[in-house]
Amino acid sequence: MVILSLNCGSSSVKYMLYDWKARKVLASGIVERVTVGGSVITHEVPGRDKFALKQDCSNHKTAIQLLLDIVSHPQHGVIRSFAEISAVGHRVVHGGEKFVKSVIISDETLGVFRKLSDLAPLHNPPNIMGIEAARELMPEIPHMAIMDTAWHQTMPKSSFLYALPYAWYEKYGIRRYGFHGTSFLYVAKRAAVLLGKDPFRCNLVIAHIGNGVSLNAVRRGVSYDTSMGFTPLEGMVMGTRSGDHDPAVPLYVMWKEGLGPKEMDSLLNKKSGILGITGKYTDRRDVIAAADQGDERCRLALEIESYRIRKYVGAYAAAVGGIDAVVFTAGVGEKAPIIRGLALEGLEYMGVRLDAERNELAITRNSECEISAPDSAVKVFVIPTDEERVFVEDVAALSEGRYDVHTNFKYRFQAPGFQNTMRDDAFAKECAANPRLREVACRPPVLVRA
């Protein structure tokens, strides 16, 4: 069974092709600048050099057609024809309350996703466009939806309801939904392996830090609370999103400057966060470099972001009754030691002791690392997320009729010896350049093919 996973954003299509029987990644890549001009596909196959091709893609259909052409290309491909693909898994950001697990996509399912687009206007529409395009290009095979919100459907009402008129929840579904669910699912299961514990006996705080940022309180292996809310705007300071603030502030500025709801929505989602504080940066690498050069607003942005993370770590540890580990994941969480260090500063009282040297060494997206001190009562891990792995396992299980909610279903990556061979190759190259990286890597003793 060959499985294609697709993650369609507004101007990109990220993909991975996986051979389920052989347990290996065949290829992965991304088509960027879809719909905006100057499109380029970057295609990676284990053991080969990266391949890139510029070809304009005016819509998601042409982008998906391009990646299908590349994966079946005589020179650059890995399959003879895209007819060899057995099923497709699609990322869908918002599944509302209706979906507690991944599902096979039908016309009815698509209709529900369209109705939910008001709740995720930046994400669900391109997700839907990708699904429609892929179904049109590959109509004979099943397509599955893997939803960011499904993981969080275990939250109790005391976590997900706002202190707003209850009728708003009944009429409009206004509540905390949470996002980054496939990332949290993967990382929570892997953290349990590193702890050597049953996942449903683990309490964790997971920090998914990328351009979008959210924290997840995991109590006995399931989502108990999360920082993103009704939309991805709530919670942490993010690249361009404000995160938590007094809700009266936007109303006040709208009144003072004569702004409408759409203008304020754009300001809060696209002009705030790290960009709002620094005035020019969203990429944390730029912010860190500028702060090192004495830029006070960039230094302040790092401190504000890290302080917000620290507040939530403490709050969530209290909420779940103590934690086994703090876990960092996603691009910034995996590669920004300064943010990890600032975020955990002063948490020794609750058993979190960071090893500063190990933290500085752990800059990789290809290996799980432990960065806590030997005497730390609470472990601190860096676990590179792998949402596509969740996609392919859900798709395979749905295709074979053995899938269920994660509390009744065991993923292959929960095996103690699970190994991602594609990441192993990349990690070996990193270690050739920096041999000390091996000192912080968590390497399982038994190998299982990815």
Report yes or no: 151 and 166 within 8 Å, Cβ to Cβ: no
3-state secondary structure the chain: CEEEEEEECCCEEEEEEEECCCCEEEEEEEEECCCCCCCEEEEECCCCCCEEEECCCCCHHHHHHHHHHHHCCCCCCCCCCHHHEEEEEEEECCCCCCCCCCEECCHHHHHHHHHHHHCCCCCHHHHHHHHHHHHHHCCCCCEEEEECCHHHHHCCHHHHCCCCCHHHHHHHCCCCCCCCHHHHHHHHHHHHHHHCCCHHHCCEEEEEECCCEEEEEEECCEEEEECCCCCCCCCCCCCCCCCCCCCHHHHHHHHHHCCCHHHHHHHHHHCCHHHHHHCCCCCHHHHHHHHHCCCHHHHHHHHHHHHHHHHHHHHHHHHCCCCCEEEEEHHHHHHCHHHHHHHHCCCHHHCECECHHHHHHCCCCCCCEECECCCCCEEEEECCCCHHHHHHHHHHHHHHCCCCCHHHCCCHHHCCCECCHHHHHHHHHHHHHCHHHHHCECCCCCCECC
148 is catalytic: yes
Choosing from 56, 69, 107, 148, which is the catalytic residue?
148
Q: Which residues are catalytic?
A: 148
